[in-house]
Each structure stands twice: as structure tokens, then as C-alpha cells.
A and B are shown apart, each in its own frame.
Chain A
Amino acid sequence: MRELDYRRADDAAGAVALVSGDPEASFLGGGTNLVDHLKLGVARPRVLVDISRLPLDQVEEIELDGGGRGLRVGANVRNSDLAAHPAVRAGWPVVSRALLAGASGQLRHQATTGGNLLQRTRCVYFQDVTTPCNKREPGTGCSAVGGYARYNAVLGASEHCVTVHPSDLAVALAAVDAVVVVLGPDGERRVPFEELHRLPGDAPERDTTLDHGELITAVELPESAAAATSTYHKARDRASYAFALVSVAAALELDDAGRVADLRIAWGGIAHKPWRARTAEAALLGTEPTEERVAAALAEELADASTGEGNTYKVPMVTAATQHALQSLQGGRR
């Protein structure tokens, strides 16, 4: 491990100034991913700016700018505390469910809201510094193309990178139209959740649209009837403590006639970012969501899926998981 200069930030603006001014500096939050990467040689910062003691640890009810109510979650709120928060359990069950489906009890006490969103892929090649990987070392090639392909993306991949985003929380936040509050050297900006993460294209080293030194300070959750009737289903290799093969965050509001008034579907394990299934959502809006209609809508969403021998299972798996999630919500189970 490279020698490390450790600084503890006094305030968020100071942390941003320290990291944005030094290309070899990184923020340190809960450390569950970064400390591992320091050991593996995947990350080699010269300076760590510890933001974990900044007072960004509140969950507050807020009035949203565009009207309506919501919840503002500080970036340092621990995953366990967010999952257990009464307002989240009642108003955004998909967020609690997604958090509780990830990692272990110990790790959820450590990991933060902001850090969870910025965790990096678990692609076996990304984490093995002896193999080529465009995300870890741009220009070296992608070992997962033609390599071990079981975890590979089926939508939105490029020849340069075929990996998927590992966060469960991010999939839930994509489904509830969260807003990410970001502090940079020039002040604060607000990023719609779907614009936080990016597809790999020819720059897979960039997971997000944030600039170096920009700091997530909070995430805002807008209140909605759909968010209050939402859930998260995750398929994995063991019953607990494993990353998703595929996952589904679903939020559903039906009108009095049983037709879809509002529907949000986001997928994990499918792409380089949480995949919002907007084509399927649009196809189902205003209809009664029968199994046949849902199957047709999901098939349309997955029409461009690109699979090989290793990951062809993901298409039927995510279809079945989405059917299951929507049926659960119609049955009153969140």
C-alpha cells in the first residue's frame, strides 16, 4: 500500500477544497469499499480526506422545491440507520428493503448513504490488479469480454466494459426519483438520480457524472403514493450476504379501477448503472397489469438485451423477479 496522508475535514466545503485541488486525494467515508481497494491495490490515493465525522448524519422531513413533501437523508447516515428509520419504512419501503438485502449487519453499520452510491463494481477482473481492466486502468482492455461472463451486463454495455453497478440502494433510489445533493468547489448542485451514474461508453473509468472533488452531501426522497407501495426483490447465489445476480425495485400506484396510475421499475445487475425500465413503465401506464401485459412490456424493455452463454439467464431471471415484485405489491406486500 502506498504511503497515506490522512486529513480529517472540519466542514464539507473544506473537504471539497482538499480533494478537488489534488488529483491524488480521495474522500474516506465508512471505508468498507475503499479500505479494501487500498489493500488490493485497486485504489492508490496519496491523501485521504476523512468526511465521516462531518455532521451529515440527519434524516429530516422537508418541503420540496417543486411542491410536495419528502425526506432529506444526510450522506453520512449509515445504511443500518436509514433502513430502520420509521419514515423510510413507511413511506419508501423499497429503500429499506434494498438496504437490508445488501451486505451484512456489521457492514451496514459502517457503510454510508453517499458511499454506498459510489461503491465500485465487484467485477472479478476489476478487483484483480494482475488482469487487464479498462475501468481500473484505461486502455488496457476488458478481461470480462470473452472471459468469465456470468455477472456481465445485458443492457447498455460497450466493447470497453461489460460490468454492472453493485449497489442495491442505488436501484431503489432510481425507482423513487431521488435527487442527489452535490457540493463542488463552485457551490451546490442537485442531480436527478438517473443522471448520477453513467453507461460505460468509451470511458468506463468514470462510474458517475461527478467531477473529482465533488461531494455528495445528501439524498432527497420525494413522497409519492407509488413510493409508499414499493418493494425490492433480489436474486443471488446464496440467501444472504451476496451481491445481486439481478434485482428489481418496483413502486406501484393503482387507480380505483385497478389500472396503473404510477409505476416505476428499476433493475440492478443488468447494466453499468441502475436501469430504469421506462419503456415497460410507459407500456403499462393506464392498463390493468396482468401477467401477460407485464410480460409483453418487459420483453419490449429487454428487446435490445445482449447476452452470451454466461449471462443469458439474466433475461428470464429479471423478468420473473419483476413479475413477482409487481404481484407482491398488488397483493399488498411491500
Chain B
Amino acid sequence: MDTTIRLTVDGREREARVDTRTTLLDLLRERLDVTSPKKGCDHGQCGSCTVLLDGRRHLTCLALAVAHDGSEVVTADGLGASDASDASDEGALHPVQQAFLDHDGYQCGYCTPGQVCSAVGVLRELEERHPSHVTEDLTGPVAADDEELRERMSGNLCRCGAYPGILAAVRQVAGRAAGEDA
């Protein structure tokens, strides 16, 4: 069974006719040539396919495209433009992307687009005061310390083991977001 899907992907209106079994990840990569979300495990265990779906971090491998018709997708490729005051500035880097560069938050880079999308999601969840597994007091304030950042980023695996750089990058931006020194 085929169906027509309309999405906003990185600020552009996109449309494709796909089989109902197609995942959002395969629609983006194979049909729309949006290749920054990566296929790692394809079973929801690695996080490399993470995008921002309607503003929240979301796996695309465990999502059927047809169920998300009409949604807004921002991939790592569109993060810079989504953050820039001038939306036409397509080459701009999002602060999280710049922080990954500053701190060598990758080695091979395959998991990186998922990592940066997840990190942007983490920062929003911190702003919304969402607690995590390691939050001591569920009714108190939520800190952005290293233990919190590690826990919140645990859905993104890095086989190169670039975790110290990833943590340093997220810490830098989280510090700015909280109005502290980077």
C-alpha cells in the first residue's frame, strides 16, 4: 500500500509517495536524500538516527513515515539554519555543533549527527526542567552537571569512545544555556 507523505525537513516542504512500511529514516535517506541521520543499528539501540521531530529528539528508525505525515523534521544538517537569526544562513553552525568541533567530540563522525540532535534536545529538556534518572530531588531544581549530562545522553552510543569530548561539548553549551561560565 502506497501513500503520499508531506514533511517539513530542515525548513523545506518535501513530499514523497512511499510504501506504508517505510520508516521515517529510510524516507529521509533513500527518498529525500537527507543523509545526515545515520542508520546504525536500525532497532532503536544506538541513537545515530536521532532528529528533532516537532521540536523533540526522536528516533527515526522506529517510526513509520506514514504515522508522521505533516510533521516538522530538523536534522543535524538543518540545525544551524534553525538556530540562526537569519534563516537564509545555511552554512551556519549551531552552538552545539561548534562545541563538538571545539572539543573533538567525535572520531569517525558516524554517530555525530545523532549526538548533536540529541544534545540540542537535552538542552531544551533542561530548560523545561525535566528530571532524569540521576536527579536527586524530583521536586527540586535540575542541575546540568556531568552526571546529569551523561545520563541524558545515554541513548547515543559512540563506538569510537569519544565520550569525554562529547561530554565537554555538551557541558560547554549547557553552561551557557544556564547563564554560567562555559
Contacts and interface: CB of A to CB of B under 8 A. Distances in A.
Interface of A: 1, 3-6, 28, 31-32, 35-36, 38-40, 48, 50, 52, 80, 83-84, 86, 89-90, 93, 96-97, 100-101, 103-107, 109-110, 239-241, 333-334
13 contacts: A3-B20, A5-B1, A6-B3, A39-B42, A83-B130, A84-B130, A105-B118, A105-B121, A105-B155, A107-B44, A109-B58, A110-B62, A240-B133
Given A84-B131, A105-B155, 20 more contacts: A4-B21, A5-B1, A6-B1, A6-B64, A32-B44, A32-B62, A35-B23, A36-B62, A39-B42, A80-B130, A100-B133, A105-B125, A105-B152, A106-B47, A106-B59, A106-B155, A107-B62, A109-B56, A239-B151, A241-B154
A6 B4 CA distance: 12
Nearest to B151: A240
Given A4-B20, A100-B133, A35 B62 contact: yes
A241 B1 contact: no
B181 interface: no
Given A4-B20, A35-B64, A39-B43, A97 B125 contact: no
Contact of A241 (B20, B130, B155): B155
Contacts of B66: 6, 50
Contacts of B44: 32, 36, 107
A1 B19 CA distance: 11
Contacts, number: 110
A6 B20 contact: yes
A176 to B, nearest CB: 15
Contacts of B57: 105-106, 109
Nearest to B147: A239
* 6 nearest A-B residue pairs (beta carbon): A104-B155, A240-B154, A89-B138, A6-B20, A84-B130, A100-B133
B99 to A, nearest CB: 18
Contacts of A86: 139
Contacts of B98: none
Most buried by A among B1, B43, B118, B155: B155
B130 A50 contact: no
B1 to A, nearest CB: 5
B64 A28 contact: yes
B101 interface: no
A240 B152 CA distance: 9
Contacts of B47: 104, 106
Interface string B148-163: 0011111110000000
Nearest to A100: B133
B139 A100 contact: no
